[in-house]
Amino acid sequence: MASHLTLTEVETIARDRLLAAGATPAVAASVARSTRLAERDGLRSHGLLYVPIYAEHLECGKVMANAVPEVVMPRPAAVCVDASNGFAHPAIDAGWSAFVDATGTCGIAAMGIRRSYNCGILGHHAERLAEDGLVGLCFTHAPASIAPTGGRRPVIGTNPFALAVPDGQGGARLVIDQSASAIAKSEILLRSREGRQIEPGWALDAEGEPTTDADAALAGSMVPAGGQKGFGTGLMVEIFAAALTGANLSVEASPFSGKKGGPPGTGQFFIGVDPSTFGGATFGGAIDRLVEAIEGQEGARLPGQRRKDNRARIEAEGVEVDDALMARITGV
C-alpha cells in the first residue's frame, strides 16, 4: 500500500519529524525544503527515505541539534563556515548572502563548509547559484566507499561535483550533477530497503568481487564511474571539499547511515563566478550555441533534463510513498 502526497505534505512531514527529533525550527525547515526538492525532481533516494536517518542521527548525536554555524571571511572572496557538526543545509544558508555578495564584488568567490553533514542533492546548491545569476561549481564528499584502482579498502566517498549555468532569467540553463561512483550510494540503500537487487557494475562485495546484492554492496565498495578516471574525479572532489575546508577526510568520517561513530564532520566547497567578469557579453551567446549543438541532435538531451521533466510532472501529480516508509517516518 502507498500514500499519495503533495509536495507541501512531503515538506510538512519531513519538518515535523525533524522537529520531533530535536531540530530547531530553522534547521528543520531548511532540511525539509531539501527533502521536498529531492522528491520534486524524482530523486527518491535523497528524499523522504533519508528523513528517518536524519531523525536517528539527531537523536543519537551524530548531528548536533543545537549547532550554530559560524561564518568568517578571511579574504574578500573567501567565506568559511563551520557547521559545528550540524546539518550542512543551515550552514550553507548562513554563509550564502556573504558568498553571493563576494562573488558580485570580486567576480569570483568561494565558500568552504567544514564539520558538516550530508547536504542532500548537490545539484540543487549549484542551481541556486545559477538562480542568483552565477555559474556555480560545487563539491561535496562523503564517508569512504570507493577503493583506489587495484585496491580493496575504500579511501574516498562517492564524492559528487555539480555545475550549473544561469539562463539569464532567474533560472538554470543546464545542471550537471554526477558522483565519482557508477551510481549514488543512496540508490543502493534504497534498493536494500526495498529488497531489490542492484545493477551489475555498481558495486563490489567485501571480498572485492562484483555483486548485485544490495546488502553485500553496502558492506563492500562502490565501483568508480569510468574506472581510474572516476577515482581521479573523486580524489579531486576530496581535495576541494575535505582537504581545503579542514573537514574530516572520507576515511575519517563516520557513515551517513546507522549509529556507528560520532558526527561525520564532512565538508563542501562552492565556487561562484559572475559570467560578466571574464567573457563579458559573449557568455550567453556561447551557452546558446553550446546548447543548440546538443539539443539539435535527435535523441540527445542536456544534463539535468530528466530531472526537469520529473519536476513538471511531480509538481502536478504529487508523489507515492509506501506505507512502510511512512511508518518509519511517523512511527505509526
pTM for the whole thing?
0.92
Is pLDDT above 80 for 87? yes
Q: Quickly count: other Cβ atoms within 10 Å of residue 260's Cβ.
A: 9
pLDDT at 182: 82
204 within some domain: no
Q: Is residue 296 part of a domain?
A: no
Range of the domain at 175: 2-181+224-280+305-330
The stretch 95-103 carries a mean pLDDT of 98
Average pLDDT, the chain: 93
Catalytic residue selected from 57, 187, 238, 254: 187
Q: Is 231's pLDDT higher than 70?
A: yes
Domain membership of residue 17 (yes or no) is yes
pLDDT, one tens digit per residue, over 247-301 is: 999 999 999 988 989 999 999 999 999 999 998 789 999 999 999 999 999 999 9
Q: Residue 332: pLDDT above 70?
A: no
Residue 6 domain flag: yes
Residue 270 is assigned to a structural domain of this protein:
yes
* CATH label of the domain that carries residue 155: 3.30.1370.60
Rounded distance, CA 221 to CA 314, Å?
A: 33
Q: Are residues 287 and 302 in contact, defined by beta-carbon separation less than 8 angstroms?
A: no
In a domain, 186, yes or no: no
Residue 162 belongs to a domain: yes
Q: Is residue 219 part of a domain?
A: no
Whether 46 sits among the annotated catalytic residues: the reply is: yes
CA distance 326 to 4: 11
Q: Which of 46, 57, 89, 124 is catalytic?
A: 46
pLDDT in tens, 29-57: 999 999 999 999 999 888 999 999 999 99
Whether residue 89 lies in the annotated active site: no
Q: What's the total number of domains in the chain?
A: 1
- pLDDT at residue 331, as a whole number: 75
The yes-or-no answer on residue 194 being catalytic is no
The residue annotated as part of the active site, out of 45, 145, 250, 254, is: 45
Q: Which of 86, 88, 9, 90 is nearest to 48 (CA)?
A: 9
Could you tell me the three cell numbers for 317?
501529480
| Section 125-147 average pLDDT | 96
